């Protein structure tokens, strides 16, 4: 053979070229989108963002998203403290910077970090079980889970290095004073009078807002996300959709199989003979005695029914995908999205017609069609739809994607390079944990925008303008509110329409974290984390006589009234007891340079601000292509694809 090729070099070349052509054709015919290795390779070939002159691929984006999903599942303090759980770009840059600083170790570092996390558990926990759970939550491999934990540890080291690097020298006396202030524990009662529900006592009722006031409020905050503006104002109408979906219960499929010939005695006996080990296990004695089929008939029937139901479910999913995709064959696409023709709404395959086709093709009861929703819905609300909300699709990789996640990523809302979907085109088939199939389609989408008129958000505008007016009135009654509280906090709450709650061991800083330079303390009930209010409480407590218990001090001296302008509320705090810092807490606080860094940077810009997403984007010259080019360049599944 070799001699033949040597003597016939031209023929050999033609054979090699032909073989390569056949290989290419077979590769194109192969459903590469269902192969996670190939799809990951393809994703990594796409550009997600530019980092200076370097490229970050769509694979980098997907990996960052998976890492964030895992860290959210494990309860990472980095996510909680920096607020990066919705920004894969932010996490990508943090890991990049920590890696460049040489602060990220190998997967073994993540293994040690996990062991440290599990040390404090009262009941021993198997680390491998935790890793498997995190793999399921994120779609990462065993090694990638450990590396993610190592990345998290590296990012934490980076933050601690900066937060502990306060300028200048700090005296030991100053350190002890600051530790005493931060670690003083206070018990007491809090009354919150919120302007939204307050009663104004002797003052005249607040007048109804004028149309001019409402229009001015809308003009200022109309395009601000609700809850994110000053005092929580914001009236932007968020991304919203209308949708329809088709449900094919697994019970409907299994019921049709039970009526057919696939579960006859002959079929059951054949399945039993082919899978004896599945039913008798490794019991050699039973196997040697040739077990009777009748002993296992019900178990065999259940096993075969489950197998056939699963196979039929997959056939139905493929059939539905093909039927939905048939109309879009040959239709132009751009960036992975279908360029829908004019009048597509009237041309696309109706779900009731698809339901009839499925029933006829597979001999099942006609699937249930849920008509298009009339009301606008937030994509996140799809998670609450029974059945559909918990169903997932594997069309975009090993990690199952839910309909709410895919709906939030559609082209009309800016798109996502790894989750390609759009309004008017059916999503990939979803499968619920119990085996039910769901086919969903967004029929209409409207991206976030400011209300066009006052009437669209009149109720919210009226409520907020009244809150502003009520808060102004409350500020004029601070002395009266304090006098009422000294007479009785519960009575003051009734008089002013407030809510009371006790609190215990309130500190400005958590003793466990202070040595690392982390300032976060215990949030107050009703108010949450309010550094200014907590500082006022501690200042009042430190000014009280130290030779008396709190109970011996007049209530008026340990009662403070503090306006909370960001919440449009007034807080009344009564101090019941004070526990000064002890020697053990002081010794712990003075370990390392954490407290020294806090004291050193007081009055200066917070170093952790350097790790905000906006600051890091500038520092790394990070520009997603979706912003640079005006739109994403995704790749993904086509109409109805289950691949």
Residue pLDDT, tens place only, 165-177: 444 455 677 777 7
- What CA–CA distance (Å, rounded) separates 48 from 120? 40
pLDDT tens column, 179-215: 788 888 899 999 999 998 887 765 567 888 999 999 9
Q: What is the pLDDT of residue 46?
A: 74
Higher pLDDT, residue 609 or 490: 490
Partners of 624 in beta bridges:
49
Nearest to 418 by CA among 133, 626, 137: 626
> What separation in angstroms does the CA of 469 have from each of 463, 472, 474?
10, 5, 9
Mean pLDDT of the residues in the chain: 81
pLDDT digits (tens, 9 = 90+) for 509-548: 877 677 666 666 778 899 888 888 988 999 999 889 888 8
Q: In this structure, what DSSP letter does residue 246 have?
A: E
Tokens 């989408």 identify what position?
A: 445
Residues 6+ apart with CB under 8 A from 144: 63, 66
The end-to-end CA distance of the chain, in Å, is: 42
pLDDT in tens, 290-324: 667 888 888 899 999 999 999 999 999 999 999 99
Residue 555: helix, strand or coil by DSSP?
helix
Structural contact between residues 460 and 231, judged by C-beta atoms closer than 8 angstroms: no
Q: Are strands 333-334 and 337-338 parallel, antiparallel or unpaired?
A: antiparallel
Q: Where are the beta strands (DSSP E) in 397-547?
A: 401-402, 430-431, 437-446, 499-506
Beta carbons of 129 and 142 less than 8 angstroms apart = no
The mean-pLDDT minimum among 211-215, 565-569, 634-638 falls in: 634-638
Q: What is the pLDDT of residue 281?
A: 66
pTM of the model: 0.56
pLDDT at 230: 85
Q: Walk across the sheet containing 437-446 and list its strands.
A: 368-370, 240-248, 437-446, 430-431, 392-393, 401-402
pLDDT reading at 424 higher than 90: yes
d(CA 519, CA 509): 5
503 pLDDT above the threshold of 60: yes
Encoded tokens for 242: 């209308």
Q: What is the mean pLDDT of residues 608-612?
A: 75
In sequence order, which ranges of 476-559 are alpha helices (DSSP H)? 478-487, 489-496, 511-514, 531-543
Where residue 104 falls among pLDDT bands split at 50, 70, 90?
A: very high
* DSSP assignment string, 398-455: SS-EEHHHHHHT-GGGT--TTS---TTSPPPPEE-TTS-EEEEEEEEEE--B--SSGG
597 has pLDDT over 80: no
User: In this structure, what token pair is assigned to residue 444?
Assistant: 């209409």
pLDDT at 282 over 70: no
Contact indicator for 144, 127 with CB cutoff of 8 Å: no
Taking the CA atoms of 526, 532, 534 and 538 in sequence, report the sign of the dihedral they define. Answer: negative
Dig out the tokens for 56 from the structure.
Answer: 């970050």
Nearest-5° angle of CA 322, CA 324, CA 328?
95
In the numeric block, which tokens belong to residue 277?
A: 């080990």
Give per-residue pLDDT as tens, 476-495: 889 999 999 999 999 999 98
- At 582, is the pLDDT very low, low, confident or very high (cuts 50, 70, 90)? confident
Cβ atoms 151, 67 nearer than 8 A: yes
Q: Please provide residue 592's backbone torsions phi and psi, each rounded to the nearest 5 degrees.
A: 65, -160
CA distance 250 to 145: 34
Q: How far apart are CA 606 and CA 601, in angstroms?
A: 7
The mean-pLDDT minimum among 86-100, 488-502, 560-574, 591-605 falls in: 591-605
For the beta carbon of residue 253, count every other beta carbon within 10 angstroms. Answer: 27
Q: How confident is the model at residue 588 (pLDDT cuts 50, 70, 90)?
A: confident
Q: How much is the pLDDT for 183?
A: 83
pLDDT at position 27, please?
39
Nearest CA to 127 among 140, 105, 142?
142
Rounded to whole angstroms, what are the CA distances from 350 to 318, 355, 444, 590?
17, 9, 15, 69
Q: What is the pLDDT of residue 327?
A: 87
Angstrom distance (rounded) from CA 89 to CA 79:
13
Positive or negative, the CA dihedral 139, 140, 142, 145 is: negative
Q: What is the 3-state secondary structure (H, E, C) of 123-186?
A: CCCCHHHHHHHHHHHHCCCHHHHHHHHHHHHHHHHHHHHHHCCCCCCCCHHHHHHHHHHHHCEE
| 524: DSSP letter | B
Distance CA 475, CA 8 (A): 100
Distance from chain centroid for Cα 526: 25
Q: Where are the domains of the chain?
A: 2-30, 53-166+608-620, 172-203+477-582, 240-446
Which of the residue ranges 257-271, 368-382, 412-426, 616-630 would you say has the lowest mean pLDDT?
Answer: 616-630
pLDDT in the model for residue 12: 44
Six-digit token pair at 529? 């984390």
For 566-572, what is the mean pLDDT? 93
Q: Which residues contact 20 (CB under 8 A, 6 or more apart)?
A: none
How far apart, in whole angstroms, are the C-alpha atoms of residue 401 and residue 33?
A: 16
Q: Residues 503, 188: contact at Cβ < 8 Å?
A: yes
pLDDT at 36 over 60: no
pLDDT value at position 119?
Answer: 72
Supply the pLDDT for residue 350: 92
Rounded average pLDDT over 385-392: 92
Residue 142 has φ and ψ, to the nearest 5°, of: -55, -50
Secondary structure of residue 600 in the 3-state scheme? helix
Q: Ranked by mean pLDDT, which of 263-272, 444-453, 593-602 comes out on top?
A: 444-453
Strands 54-57, 47-51: parallel, antiparallel or unpaired by DSSP? antiparallel
Contact by Cβ (8 Å): 89, 49: yes
* Per-residue 3-state assignment (H helix, E strand, C coil) for 259-327: HCHHHCHHHHHHHHHHCHHHHHCCCHHHHHCCCCHHHHHHHHHHHHHHHHHHHHHHHHHHHHHHHHHHC
* Per-residue pLDDT tens digits for 327-373: 888 889 888 899 998 888 888 999 999 999 999 999 999 888 776 67
Rounded to whole angstroms, the Cα distance separating 184 from 543 reads 13
The tokens of 96 are what?
């990049």
pLDDT band at 80 (very low <50, low <70, confident <90, very high): low
Residue 390 pLDDT more than 90? yes
- Strands of 47-51's sheet, edge to edge? 54-57, 47-51, 622-624
What would the mean pLDDT of 582-594 be, rounded to a whole number? 74
Does 422 score more than 90 pLDDT?
Answer: yes
Using left for φ > 0, alpha for ψ between -120 and 50, and beta otherwise, residue 415 falls in left
Q: What is the mean pLDDT of the segment spanning 253-269? A: 90
Does pLDDT of 1 surpass 60? no
Average pLDDT over residues 72-77: 80
């Amino acid at each position: 053979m070799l001699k033949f090729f040597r003597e016939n070099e031209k023929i050999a070349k033609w054979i090699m070229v032909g073989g390569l052509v056949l290989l290419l054709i077979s590769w194109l015919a192969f459903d590469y989108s269902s192969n996670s290795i190939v799809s990951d390779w393809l994703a990594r070939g796409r550009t997600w963002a530019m980092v200076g002159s370097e490229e970050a691929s769509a694979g980098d984006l997907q990996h960052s998203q998976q890492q964030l999903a895992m860290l959210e599942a494990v309860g990472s303090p980095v996510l909680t403290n920096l607020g990066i759980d919705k920004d894969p770009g932010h996490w990508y840059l943090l890991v990049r910077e920590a890696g460049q600083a040489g602060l990220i170790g190998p997967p073994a570092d993540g293994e040690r970090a996990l062991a440290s996390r599990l040390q404090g558990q009262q009941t021993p926990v198997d680390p491998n079980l935790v890793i498997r759970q995190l793999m399921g939550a994120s779609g990462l491999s065993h090694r990638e889970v450990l590396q993610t934990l190592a990345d998290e540890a590296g990012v934490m080291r980076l933050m601690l290095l900066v937060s502990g690097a306060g300028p200048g020298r700090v005296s030991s006396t100053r350190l002890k004073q600051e530790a005493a202030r931060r670690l003083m524990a206070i018990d007491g009662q809090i009354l919150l009078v919120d302007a939204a529900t307050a009663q104004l006592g002797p003052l005249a009722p607040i007048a109804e807002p004028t149309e001019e006031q409402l229009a001015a409020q809308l003009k200022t905050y109309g395009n601000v996300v609700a809850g994110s503006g000053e005092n929580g104002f914001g009236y932007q109408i968020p991304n919203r959709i209308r949708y329809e979906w088709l449900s094919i219960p697994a019970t409907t499929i299994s019921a049709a199989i039970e009526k057919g010939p696939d579960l006859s005695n002959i079929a059951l006996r054949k399945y039993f003979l082919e899978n004896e080990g599945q039913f008798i296990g490794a019991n050699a004695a039973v196997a040697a005695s040739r077990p009777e089929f009748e002993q296992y008939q019900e178990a065999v029937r259940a096993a075969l029914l489950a197998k056939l139901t699963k196979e039929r479910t997959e056939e139905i999913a493929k059939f539905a995908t093909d039927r939905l995709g048939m109309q879009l064959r040959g239709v132009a696409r751009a960036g992975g999205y279908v360029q829908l023709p004019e009048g597509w709404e009237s041309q696309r395959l109706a779900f009731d017609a698809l339901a009839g086709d499925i029933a006829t093709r597979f001999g099942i009861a006609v699937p249930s069609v849920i008509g298009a929703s009339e009301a606008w819905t937030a994509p996140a609300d799809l998670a609450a739809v029974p059945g559909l909300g918990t169903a997932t699709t594997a069309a975009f990789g090993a990690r199952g994607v839910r309909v709410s996640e895919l709906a939030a990523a559609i082209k009309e809302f800016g798109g996502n390079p790894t989750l390609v979907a759009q309004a008017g085109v059916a999503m990939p088939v979803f499968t619920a944990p119990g085996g039910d199939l769901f086919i969903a389609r967004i029929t209409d989408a409207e991206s976030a925008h400011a209300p066009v008129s006052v009437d669209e958000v009149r109720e919210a505008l009226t409520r907020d303008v009244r809150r502003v007016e009520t808060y102004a009135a409350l500020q004029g009654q601070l002395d009266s509110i304090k006098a009422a509280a000294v007479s009785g906090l519960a009575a003051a709450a009734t008089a002013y329409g407030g809510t009371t709650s006790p609190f215990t061991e309130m500190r400005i800083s958590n003793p466990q974290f202070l040595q690392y330079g982390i300032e976060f303390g215990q949030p107050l009930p009703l108010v949450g984390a309010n550094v200014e209010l907590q500082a006022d409480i501690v200042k009042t407590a430190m000014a009280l006589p130290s030779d008396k218990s709190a109970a011996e001090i007049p209530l008026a001296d340990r009662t403070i009234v503090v306006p909370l302008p960001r919440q449009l509320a007034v807080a009344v705090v009564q101090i019941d007891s004070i526990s000064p810092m002890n020697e053990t807490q002081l010794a712990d606080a003075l370990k390392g340079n954490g407290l020294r860094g806090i004291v050193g940077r007081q009055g200066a810009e917070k170093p952790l601000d350097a790790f905000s997403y906006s600051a890091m984007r500038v520092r790394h010259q990070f520009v997603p292509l979706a912003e640079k080019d005006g739109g994403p360049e995704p790749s993904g599944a086509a109409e109805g694809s289950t691949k």
